[in-house]
Amino acid sequence: MQVREVMTQDVPLISPFDTIGEAAKLMYKLDAGCLPVAEDDRLVGIITDRDIAVRAIAAGRGPETPVGAVMSNGVCYCFEDQDLDEIAANMADIQVRRLPVMDRDKRLVGILSLGDIAASRDVGGVALSGIVVPSSQHNQSDAGGLYYTL
């Protein structure tokens, strides 16, 4: 099974120049924990609810803070035509809950989440068991395997 068969499509984007207040409102409306950040039709990062809480609010920044100031830059991603089992195993290895999905022209075509994987079949259990193991330090930019970073 390929990633494209289970990923969430039609993912809204946010600009690095939009505010974290706008990002939070959009996340709330969509019931989403992250938004891909795009500039000039290219993925440049991702902003998560955790980025807003830890990098912005906890640091004393307000809702007018630009998304680009607190977003994660070294974002891991996968390709839509990759094997879902391999991607699920790698998600467990690097302990991420969601991945942007790109086509081979490096255009965002969706997001793959643990929920997507779990709904698809048993492979979700493999990813979930690896991701929920506490790590001493989580850094997406250190990912290996079948992942690519911006």
Give the pLDDT score at 129. Answer: 53
Q: Which CATH number does the domain housing residue 36 bear? A: 3.10.580.10
- Order of strands, sheet of 76-79, starting from the edge strand that comes earlier in the sequence: 108-113, 98-102, 76-79, 148-149
Q: How many domains does the chain have?
A: 1
Per-residue pLDDT 10s for the chain (150 aa) are 999 999 999 899 999 999 999 999 999 999 888 999 999 888 999 999 999 999 999 999 999 999 999 999 888 999 999 999 999 999 999 888 899 999 999 999 999 998 889 888 654 455 555 555 444 444 444 444 455 555
Largest CA distance in the chain: 45
- DSSP strand pairing (108-113 vs 98-102): antiparallel
Global pTM value = 0.76
Domain range spanning residue 141?
Answer: 3-149
Read off the tokens for 94.
């690097």
Give the pLDDT score at 83. Answer: 96
